Structure 1
C-alpha cells in the first residue's frame, strides 16, 4: 500500500492554487527545487502526472483535478475531526461545479439543480459566463458540466457530450396591454417594440429567419445577452420579450407579465455539456438520470 504524505498534499494544493512553483514556493517559504522534489514524490506515489505546463503556467491534469478534490476532502476531514472533538460536528460534502451560459434561463437551471439544493452532503459551485470561457474551464477540469442552450460539437481532442435535457416553447411576453385590441401575429410586429436575445442565441436565429420568411421587419427596442436582463426590460415595459415562458414563470403566474403570443414551431433547447472523464463526478450521473426521468427525453 502506497504511503500518502499529508505534507505532500499541502504543497500540491498550494501549487494548484498559485498555478506556479515559484509563487507556491514563496508562499510556503520553501525553495523552488525543494517544492518541485515534493511534487515529484507525490506524482510518483500516485502514478499519475498532476500538472501540465501551458503558457508558462502549471495547469491541472484530469488526475490532478481528482487529486485536488480528494486533497480538499482530506483537509476538510481534518477540520471536521477537530470540530467533532470540540463537540461541533459538521458533515463531509461532495462538490459539483456547474457552469451556466448567461443566455440560459435561471429558472431552468434551478429546476435542474433542485434535487441537489439543500442537501447537507452536497456543495454546489455555480458559475456564469459565455460558452467559450465555460468550455475552457471544462477542459481545465474546473467544471463538471455546462448548462447551455446550444449543443457543442464533439471532436477527437475534446470528446464533449451534449445531453438534451428539455425543450421549451418560445413566446412573446410583456406588460398587460392597455388596449383591448387583440394582438395580431405577425402583422403587429412591424410597429411593436421587441426585446430580443443577442445574435448568438439559437432562438434569435430562428426568430430572425421566421421574420425574413414572413417579410416582416420588426422594431427592436433592445438586444441583450442575459435572460435576467431581458426579463427586467419586459417588466419595465421596454417591449415584448422573446423568451421561453419558463424564464418568466413567476411573473406570468403573478400577472406582472402576460403571454401575448406563443410562436408555433419555435423552441428553446436545453443541454448539459459534459466531458469524457476517466473519473466522472458521481453527482453528475445522479443529476442527469433524475432529469432524464423527469423530462422523458433520452440524452444525445
Structure 2
C-alpha cells in the first residue's frame, strides 16, 4: 500500500470540518473540482468511501469518523514536532514551558520547578502564571508542556490530557505570636469570631474553608480575601488576623513570616496535579517533575 499523502489528509479534514467540498475549496483557495479529485484519490487508496451525502452536506460515515480521528492525531503530532523544534535554541539547550495556576503557593512552585535544572543546567525554564482556563487553552495549542494546578482537568474538557496527582496535604492555621497564644487551646473552636483572611473568592481553598467552618458551626470574621497568598501572610504577620496555608509549607511560613501555628486539620485536603497533554513524545521534564514532586510531600517544606 502506498504511503498516505499529507495533503490528501488536509483536504479530507477540510471537507469534514466545513461539511461541503464547495466551502472547503473556498477556504483552501483551490477549485472544487481539484478538491473532489483529491478526495477520490484518498478514498481509492483507503479502499472506502468516507462521506455520506445528506441534502447539501457531506457527513462522515463510520470509516470517515475513524479516519478523521486519526487525521486529528496526525496533525496534532505535526504541531508537536514544530513545538519541539522551536523549543531548542541554536546551541540545542532544552526549553521547558509550564503554566502554574495563580493559587499555587510560590514556595511550592519554586521547590518543584528548580528540580528541572537537575536534568540539564542549561535548560530554559519558561513559567506562566494565570488562571487554569487560560493555561489549558495554551496547553491545547502546544504552547505549554504541562500545567501545575490545585484541581485536575475539568470533567468534560475536550482537551486530551492527563491529570497526574503529585500529592495532597491538609491545612495549617497561623497567627502572629500575640494572637496565637490566645487561640491554641481549643482549636478550631477558638477561631469563632476571630478576624480571618481567606483565599480569593472562587478558589478551592476559599470554598472548602468556609464550608468547614459552617460544618463546625463557627463563624470567624472574614476581614479580607486575597488572590495573592503572600499578601495574606503579610497581613497575618502584622497581627490583623489569622490565615491558613498548606501544611506541607508550614515550616516555611513560620520561618519567613515569624508567625505561630494555631492548629492543623486534615478535614480539608489540598491536591496538587501536573496536567500534561496526550503527546506521542513527552517532554522529559514532565516525568521528572512527577518524581520530584512526590518527594516534596514526604516532609514539611522549608
- Measure, in 2, the Cα distance between the counterparts of 1:201 and 1:159: 24
Contact 1:65–1:142 (8 Å) recurs in 2: no
Describe the SS at the equivalent of 1:285.
Answer: helix
**2:217 alignment counterpart:** 215
- Measure, in 2, the Cα distance between the counterparts of 1:207 and 1:168: 14
Shift, 1:94, TM fit: 0.8
Q: Is 1:181 the counterpart of 2:196 in the alignment?
A: no
The count of residues paired between Structure 1 and Structure 2 equals 223
Shift, 1:154, TM fit: 5.1
Describe the SS at the equivalent of 1:147.
Answer: strand
Shift, 1:112, TM fit: 1.6
Kindly report which structure 2 residues correspond to 1:231-250, keeping only aligned pairs within 5 A, or say none: 231-247=233-249, 249-250=251-252
- Corresponding residue to 2:206 among 197, 201, 204: 204
Contact 2:196–2:242 (8 Å) recurs in 1: yes
Shift, 1:188, TM fit: 2.9
Describe the SS at the equivalent of 1:173.
Answer: strand
**1:115 alignment counterpart:** 115
Contact 2:160–2:278 (8 Å) recurs in 1: yes
RMSD over aligned CA atoms reads 2.7
- Measure, in 2, the Cα distance between the counterparts of 1:215 and 1:155: 35
Q: Is 1:102 the counterpart of 2:102 in the alignment?
A: yes
**1:67 alignment counterpart:** 82
- Measure, in 2, the Cα distance between the counterparts of 1:195 and 1:98: 29
Structure 1 residues 242 and 292: CA distance shift in structure 2, 3 A: closer
Shift, 1:246, TM fit: 3.9
Structure 1's unaligned 5+ residue stretches are 1-32, 34-59, 81-91
Contact 1:252–1:258 (8 Å) recurs in 2: yes
Contact 1:99–1:127 (8 Å) recurs in 2: yes
- Measure, in 1, the Cα distance between the counterparts of 2:157 and 2:265: 38
- Measure, in 2, the Cα distance between the counterparts of 1:115 and 1:69: 21
Q: TM-score normalized by structure 2?
A: 0.65
- Measure, in 1, the Cα distance between the counterparts of 2:149 and 2:112: 12
Which deviates further from its counterpart, 132-141 or 245-254?
245-254
Q: TM-score normalized by structure 1?
A: 0.66
- Measure, in 2, the Cα distance between the counterparts of 1:195 and 1:164: 28
Contact 1:101–1:128 (8 Å) recurs in 2: yes
Structure 1 residues 162 and 209: CA distance shift in structure 2, 3 A: same
